Amino acid sequence: MTPGSPANFSADLSPDLRGWWAQTSTEAVKTCCRKMFRQLALACGRRGLAVGTGAAKAFQPACVLANRPFSTIPEPSASASSSSPVDADMDAVAAVASFKHTAPTMLIPEIDGLGRAYGTGRRKTSSARVWVKQGSGRFTVNGKDLKDYFQPLQREEVLLPFLAIEQSGLYDVWCTVKGGGITGQAGAVRLGASRALTAFGPDIRPTLKKAGFITRDSRRVERKKPGQPKARKKFQWVKR
């Protein structure tokens, strides 16, 4: 039988919530809760609701599975709980509904059969394909070592994502980059490495995001306009 169906819905609830369910007289509230519980039960693989003293707390296991702190779910307000049972029920339903619409999806590492995570990076007209895996810190760019391919300033930029997460010597990086100049290629490799690290370990994404390494830099050289020597420069104006 499907979890959350009307026949076995009350059996899946915690003892505290079962008493709340028996005292609820509003059929619309029951239907709403039943529908939300069915979706959460199917998504979470029929996890038993073992804790909770109210409708919002009954969905705590689903919050844990969704990697979201349970404290972020609003509690039923004391004023609504003391006014009438129907208002308290609706307040609890609103709390669960807010969780339903805002709960993030679980982030799963994207690793291939060789233990590598992949990321694509672009900067100006350069494009880089980057693979990251656990290793001893080797960094290969277009078949060459990092120090042989990039200048010191560009090497420092490429290694910034690994320094931000304080794991500079724990990954082997292999990448190919084409197009543009040395600065654009370094930016492309940095973005590709950041995305590959995010795919390898989703828990480090907030650190890289805060440092600005996940955002694609969309700045490019502005095009030359007809009737002008450059993109912004104008010819000298002559009155006669």
Does one domain contain both 92 and 161?
Answer: no
Structural domain contains residue 69 = yes
Does one domain contain both 129 and 85?
Answer: no
Parallel, antiparallel, or unpaired for β 117-123 and 139-141? unpaired
Domain, as residue range, for 190: 117-211
Domain count, the chain: 2
Does one domain contain both 16 and 71?
Answer: yes
Does one domain contain both 94 and 130?
Answer: no
Quick: pLDDT tens for 65-95: 344 443 444 444 444 444 444 444 455 555 5
Say how many residues make up the chain: 240
Does one domain contain both 126 and 46?
Answer: no
Does one domain contain both 52 and 84?
Answer: yes
Query: What is the crossing angle of helices 85-102 and 27-44, to 10°?
Result: 30
Structural domain contains residue 21 = yes
Quick: pLDDT tens for 151-199: 999 999 999 999 999 988 899 999 999 999 999 999 999 999 999 999 9
Structural domain contains residue 228 = no
How far apart are the C-alpha atoms of 96 and 139, rounded to whole Å?
48
pTM recorded for the entire structure: 0.57
Last residue of a domain, one of 102, 137, 168: 102
Q: CATH number, domain at 193?
A: 3.30.230.10
Residue 107's pLDDT is 73
The better pLDDT of the pair 24, 103 is held by: 24
Structural domain contains residue 221 = no
Does one domain contain both 126 and 97?
Answer: no
Structural domain contains residue 98 = yes
